[in-house]
Amino acid sequence: MSTALPPSTTVLVVGAGVHGLSTAWHLAQAGVDVTVVDKTGVAAGASGIACGVVRNNYFQPAMAELMAACVEIWESDPAAFHYQGSGYLALGPENQESDLTAVFERQERIGYPSQLILGEEAVRDHMRGLYADWRAPGLSVCLHETAGGFALNRPAIEGIADKARAAGARIVEGVTVEAFELDGSGAVTQVVTDAGTVDVEQVVVAPGPWAQQLWAMLGLPDEIDVRQPDGTVHEAVPMWKHWYLQEGELDLPPGLFVTNDGRPSPVLHVDSTSPLVADDGTLITDEQWGIYVKPDHASIQGGAQPLPLPDHPPVDPYPAGTVEDAFPDMWAAALSHCLGRFQGGRATYRQVRCGGMGAFTPDNFPIFDHLRPNAFVIADSNHGFKMIAVGREVARVLQGEHSSLLHPFRFERFATGDLHPVSNSPYPWS
C-alpha cells in the first residue's frame, strides 16, 4: 500500500528498509509528521533479502550495548516481527577464546543472558547436548546466547511498515530521490524526486547498499583521512567499499535443523582452523574458515565470509545475490563437518536472492550521525537488519535528545582515532 507524495513534510525518510521504517514508526508514535520514500518499495533492498540473524556476539562494546537494545525490541512483539527467539551459538578455536570470553564478560555486565563454555571436551559435550550428531573437532570455546535468534526477512520488515502506518507515517513507494537542495548553512531545504519536490525540516537518509550514491548527493567526501588509535593517519582512504555477501540455501526442510528436544535450532556460527574436507574427501581449505546457518521459513539458510569487490561497482539495480564459485562447496562441507544430518547436503544447494551487496565504511562499522545540519545519515555497513533499535534512537535524536547508544558511531571518529576495537574473527565486521 502506498500513498501520494506530499508537497512538504516535517521529516522525510529515504529508504523503506529496517532503519527507515523503524525511524518513521518511532517518530510517528511521538506525533511527528513523517514521510518515507523508497524508489521501489517496502523491503525491496537489503532488508528484504537479509539472512535475518539477530545476535549480540560483538567484540566491540558499543555494538554489544546497541544490540542488547535491538534484541529487546525484537522480543517485544515476536508475532508482528516474525521473530524466533531461538538463541545464538558462536564457536571457535583457541585463537578466539580471549575474544569470546571478553564478549561474555561484557554481556554479563549489561545483563544479556549467555553462557560461556571453555575447553574442547566441554564444548563437545555442550554441543552434543543440543545436537546428538555434532561432530566438529578442534573447537575450544562456545558462547551460547540464550537471547537473540532470527526473523523472517521480508515479513519482518512488512511488520515494521505496518506499525509505522498505524502510528500515522506515510510510506510512498516508487519514488526516487534525485537531489538535495541545500541552503547557505548546508542544511537541506528541499528534496527533489522524480515525483516532485518536497519541502522538509529534517531528512533521514537510510539507503542500505546505496549509501555511496546518497552520500554523494549530500556533497559528502568520497575519500577521508582515518586516524588510528595509535595516532597514525591513513590519508585519502576511500569512504566506501563493497562486498558481495556469500549466502545461499539448502533445499531441506527447516524441521531438519532442530535441537535434541525438537525446538528450532539457535543460529549457529562456527569459526574453525581444522582442515575442511568435502564429503567425498576433497580438501576444501586448510586455512581458517567461518560459516553461519539457521533454519528459514522453508529451507536451511546461511553464509560465509564476503567476497571483496574491486573499485566501486554500481549497486543499482541491486544484485540478485552473487557468490563466488567455491562458496557452495565450502558452505555445504562446513555444515557436514559440524552436523551429521547435513552430510550429502551439497546436492540440495540452491542460489536464491539472498545476501546481495553490502556498502562498508572504512572501519566496517556503522555511521549514525548528522552529516548536514538537518540531515541524519544511517549508514549501517551491513550490520543493518538486526539493528531494529537504531530507528528508535534516531527518532530521539531528531527530537533533541542525546543517544548514548549512537554516539560511538559518529562520523568524527575517523578524524579523532576513536575507532572500534578489532577482534580475531575472520569476519571483517565482528
pLDDT in tens, the chain (430 residues): 458 999 999 999 999 999 999 999 999 999 999 999 999 999 998 898 888 899 988 888 899 899 999 999 999 999 999 999 999 999 999 999 999 999 999 999 989 999 999 999 999 999 999 999 999 999 999 999 999 999 999 999 999 999 999 999 999 999 999 999 999 999 999 999 999 999 999 999 999 989 999 999 999 999 999 999 999 999 999 999 888 778 888 999 999 999 999 999 999 999 999 999 999 999 999 999 999 999 987 788 888 766 565 555 555 545 555 677 888 999 999 999 999 999 999 999 988 767 667 889 999 999 999 999 999 999 988 888 899 999 999 999 999 999 999 999 999 999 999 988 776 665 555 5
CA distance linking residue 404 with residue 43, whole number of Å: 28
H helix or E strand, kind and range, residue 118: strand 114-118
Domain segments of the chain: what residues?
1-83+149-221+361-418
Which amino acid is residue 185, in one-letter code? S
Q: How far is CA 35 from CA 10, 23, 294, in A?
A: 8, 10, 35
Rounded Cα gap, residues 244 and 308, in angstroms: 7
- Element (H or E) spanning 243, and its range? strand 241-250
- Neighbouring CB atoms inside 10 A of 223's CB total 12
The owner of cell 555511521 is: 367
As given in the structure block, the three cell numbers for residue 23 are 525511524
pTM (two decimals): 0.93
Give domain 1-83+149-221+361-418's CATH superfamily: FAD/NAD(P)-binding domain (3.50.50.60)
Residues with Cβ within 8 Å of 372's Cβ and at least 6 positions away in sequence, in order, are: 180, 182, 186, 187, 188, 203, 218
The span from the CA of 219 to the CA of 197, in Å, is: 19
Between CA 112 and CA 384 the distance in angstroms is 20
Query: 311, exposed or middle or buried, with CB in 10 Å at 0-12, 13-18, 19+?
Result: exposed
